[in-house]
Structure formats: structure tokens, C-alpha cells
Amino acid sequence: MAEGKTEIIMKKRIQLFSELIKGYLKTSSIGALFIDAEQLEQTATNPENTAKKRGPSNPIYSSKDCYFLLDDTKLNNIETSHFISLNGVSSLTYVDKSLEEMLSDSKHISITLLTKAKNIEICLRNHNLLFDDIKFIEESFLEELEVLGDPRKEMQLINKITKINEKSLCRRVILIDPIFGDRTKSIASRIFMLNKSNIVIGTNAFIGTERNKTKRWKEVFLLDSQVVTPPPENTYPYQKNQLSIASVTAIINLYKRYEDTHEIYEQLCKQTYPISTIYVWVNGIDNDDKLKSLKQLMPRARFVISDENIGVWARFSFGLNIQTEYTVVFDDDTIPGLRWIENCVETIQAKEALLGTVGLIYNSKSCYMQHQRYGWPAPSDMETEVDIVGHSWFFKTEWLKYYWTTKEDICGLDYCGEDMHFSYALQKFGISTVVPPHPIKDRSLWGSLKGQEKGTGLESISMSGKGSHMDIPLNRLVSRGFILKKFQTDEPME
């Protein structure tokens, strides 16, 4: 720094909890996670030590909207603390009002308390909030969860939470009783991730305390240098963190089928294995009024809108933004059974593969229409390895990197070929394509309940006269080395 120059240090304002939460309560589709920050060893004053530290032993994993609630003690010692989320340093929030005061003044919200059954009397005696619902989690379940550390067990716990208070006209706020102790942060983070429109508060600041009125909290600032971001080697990739493991995000492709899209949404909200977030990829707007009505009917969904139809490949590019371990994509004519996600998770955890509700095994290397169909068109109690799958795709989100790094020229084929390409791309990396079991006696496990009925509309490729054009991508992929099951012993093409 040149002599005589004054160093300018950037400062960030510590925001007020009351100001932030008011904004979130007004927007029904946006959620937030408010959670207590944890005190850590001092590393800010020693850069060498900072580089060696692994960060907190129990970091907070969150999505984009994560705020830390601070009390007076943490505020006074903030220069010694780390604040880590999935995206690095998250915003800091000073609790200027008690939760009772803040939430009691709010209208059109549904407040749920998550607590342990044996502590409910103490909990209710200490809180003046009028809860719309109280959800009990048994101590034995938490103890088992702590011992096993099983993500699927934790998903069962969260599934209990996602079943409550589905009031479309209410904003949902979930309070995590601090009696859960060390698990409070993990539970709060999980609930937020599984429905990002929730406002989840996992904090010890249930009871408001008298603040120092002489301080002007709106003018409290924090130096950038006082918040320590972990070095690059200490980052936590999303596919390895405790928040996103075994979580599922859904993408529904919408092209004109507004009623069917709502039906898919309803089925996803009722899944036995909960969905984290439901996105609707609107591939071209043809009716503003219908779209507006649909958005009102689907409060949990997030809509991503393209002004024009840019083809069937686009939804897989949007999937690159997803942070959960798994992604499931639906055509808008594919109504899943209530256990479809459960079926897929169990199948993929037994054997990693691209999954779908209808699969094809080709009888020809050049003619697309010469094939046998599996899945909902031919129910079976067993899984079936196939050449390609369609209508619904379930996969590990990180596999999309294979999808796009092996992308061929799709010019002129914006309406087909994306399904064949996915199986081809994963095959190059040793990942097969499979149709999970579709038992004839249990349609709840099916990925498509109305395939024959919904797949013959005017919007479908099968009715558009373009079906024969799908020979083109099949021929291209075979020429590039796509090995079809019935031709595995053939000499590879140059």
C-alpha cells in the first residue's frame, strides 16, 4: 500500500431479524433458514492457523437463503467466529425482537412447533405463541438416528414434517425446539432444504430478552475481515454434505398441458419419499391466464419461464443448478404413483443407474420404432436393464456433467434425442440404464399412472408426425459408439 494512503475497509451491516422476516412472510414462494451461529476457536488473528483449520466440526449446510441469528455474546465476539454455509459466508442477523413478538403480529401464517413429546409441557409454558400445529418427535427415534447416522432414517423424520399444514393460503413457519440440542441445526437445515418455501427457525432465541436500548442496532456494522471464510480446501461439495445426501429435486417440463402439470404436482406433494423442491420448466408461454392460474394452484412449486419453446434439451441444462444429490425430471404427461420416488431411491442405492418409467430395447440399430417397451407398458416385479428410458428420468445430479460434456450437434433436433443421448453419455462412463420394478399389483410404485391416456395428446411427439425423425439421433449415437443391448457382440463402428 502506498505511503500516506488510508486503507478503506469494507463493512457489512448486520441486519435486523424483524426486518428480514417481514419480507419473507410477504412472499409465499421464497423461504429462509434462520439458525444460531456457533462459536469457534479463534483463527482470524492468525492467518497461518486459518489455512490449517478444517473449519467447524459441525458446519451449517444450507442453500442460498441462510441467516445466522446472533445474541449479544456472539455479537461482541464476532471477530473470532466462522460462519459457513454451502455457499460460503451467509448473512448475519441480530435478533432485535423475540419470536413471539415477531410472529404474533403476522397474519396469514401457519406456525408449527417441532418438539420432543416429553418436553411439551415445559415448551408450552415457556412460549406464548399460538401454534397451529405441534409435531412430536420421539426420543427413541432421535437416539436411533444418532447411532445409525442413516440419511434415509433422517428422511423419514423430515417426511413427518412435510406432511403437516399444507395450507395454500398460509405462509408456513416451522420452529425447532432448542431442546434437540446439537441436532437442532441439522434438523432445521433438512426441513428448509426439503421445502425451500418454508421459513425454518432453529435457534435458542425463543424467548426475547431486553435489548440495550442505548445502542442503535440498525447502525451496527461488521468488518469484512472479521468474518473468516474457509480456504478452498475446506469447502464442502454439495454431493458430500449431510444436507443434500439422499434429497431429491423435481423438474416438471410444461408445454401446454396445464391441467396435467397440476396433477403431477399434487402427486409429488404426497410422495412417501419427500421432494426437496419442485421446479416447473415452462417451455414457452402460449396462455398467460392459464399459467397464472396454475401458479396459484401450486404454491410449493417454483416456476422457471422461457418466453419461447427452446426444445426438450433445455430442462436438463436447468438441472445443472440443482444442489440435491438426486434429480427427477418429468414430461408433462407423466403422472407418478405415490411411491415412485421411494422406488427410484431404493433402486439407485442398490445399483447406480439412470432410471425411468418406460424403457426401450431396440431391435434395430437404425429404426427407432423397432423396439420393445418395458416399465408401465409391460409391468414387472423386477427391474429391467434397457437401452434408453423416457417420460421420467431419475439420476444423480452430478451425472449431468457427463450429459453435457458428450453432447453432440443437435441442430434441427430440438424436439427429440435427449433421452437417447442421456443413456449414451452415461454408458461411456460405465453407468447403465434401468427401469425400476413396476409390479402389476402395486401401481403406487409406477412412474406413470396414465401413460396411455396422457401420451396421445396433440402435444405429444407420437401424434405430431415427427416420430420417424427420431431415427436420426439413434443413427448418430450408434455411429459414435452407443452399444445397444441386442447388438453387444457386434464389431464397434469406426
The three grid cell numbers given for residue 118, joined into one nine-digit string:
416429553
Do residues 59 and 88 lie in contact, with contact meaning Cβ atoms separated by under 8 Å? Answer: no
At residue 63, the pLDDT reads 59
pLDDT, tens digit, 9 for 90 and up, residues 258-276? 888 999 999 998 888 888 8
Looking at CATH, the fold of the domain delimited by 247-487 is given as Spore Coat Polysaccharide Biosynthesis Protein SpsA; Chain A (3.90.550)
| CA 368 and chain centroid, separation | 34
Rounded to an integer, what distance in angstroms lies between the CA atom of residue 358 and that of residue 126?
A: 54
Query: What tens-digit pLDDT sequence spans the chain (494 residues)?
Result: 444 555 566 677 778 888 888 888 887 778 888 887 654 433 333 444 433 333 444 555 565 677 888 776 666 666 655 555 555 556 778 777 777 777 877 777 888 888 887 667 666 666 667 788 888 887 777 777 666 666 667 777 777 766 655 555 678 889 888 778 777 877 887 788 777 788 998 876 654 444 444 445 456 676 666 665 555 555 544 445 556 778 899 999 988 888 889 999 999 988 888 888 899 998 878 788 888 888 888 888 889 887 877 778 888 888 988 888 899 999 988 999 999 999 999 999 999 999 999 999 999 998 989 999 999 999 999 999 999 999 999 999 999 999 998 887 665 567 788 899 999 999 999 999 999 999 999 999 999 998 877 654 444 454 445 556 788 889 989 999 999 999 887 665 44
CA distances from 343 to 255, 273, 324, 398, 441 (A): 27, 9, 18, 20, 15
Strands 371-375 and 353-362: antiparallel
CA distances from 359 to 288, 326, 371, 389, 475 (A): 35, 20, 10, 4, 18
At residue 205, the pLDDT reads 60
Rounded to an integer, what distance in angstroms lies between the CA atom of residue 362 and that of residue 144?
A: 47
Rounded to an integer, what distance in angstroms lies between the CA atom of residue 422 and that of residue 388?
A: 8
Mean residue pLDDT across the chain: 77
CA angle 221-227-229, nearest 5°? 150
- Helix 258-269 / helix 288-297 crossing angle, nearest 10 deg: 10
Q: Please give the helix or strand (H or E) that residue 348 lies within, else none.
A: helix 340-350
Rounded to an integer, what distance in angstroms lies between the CA atom of residue 311 and that of residue 322?
A: 20
**What 3-state DSSP class applies to 111?**
strand
Residue 2 identity: A
φ/ψ of residue 273, rounded to 5: -110, 110
Rounded to an integer, what distance in angstroms lies between the CA atom of residue 40 and that of residue 413?
A: 55
φ/ψ of residue 432, rounded to 5: -85, 175
Do residues 255 and 325 lie in contact, with contact meaning Cβ atoms separated by under 8 Å? Answer: no
Q: Within a 13 Å sphere around the CA of 457, how many CA atoms are in the beta-carbon half?
A: 16
At residue 126, the pLDDT reads 61
Q: Looking at residue 382, what DSSP letter applies?
A: S
Q: Which residues contact 154 (CB under 8 A, 6 or more apart)?
A: 145, 186, 190
Among residues 409, 425, 430, the alpha carbon closest in space to that of 473 is found at: 409
Check the CA dihedral 197-202-208-209 and report its sign.
negative
Rounded to an integer, what distance in angstroms lies between the CA atom of residue 487 and that of residue 471?
A: 17
The radius of gyration of the chain from alpha carbons, rounded to an integer in Å, stands at 25
Residue 93 identity: T
**What 3-state DSSP class applies to 76?**
helix
Rounded to an integer, what distance in angstroms lies between the CA atom of residue 272 and that of residue 196?
A: 18
Q: Which stretches of 364-488 are DSSP H helices?
A: 400-405, 418-427, 451-454, 471-479
Structural domain boundaries of the chain? 11-239, 247-487
**Residue spans of beta strands (DSSP E) within 14-147:** 15-16, 32-36, 66-70, 91-94, 109-115, 133-136
Check the CA dihedral 212-213-214-217 and report its sign.
positive
Among residues 246, 223, 228, the alpha carbon closest in space to that of 59 is found at: 228
Among residues 18, 23, 41, the alpha carbon closest in space to that of 97 is found at: 18
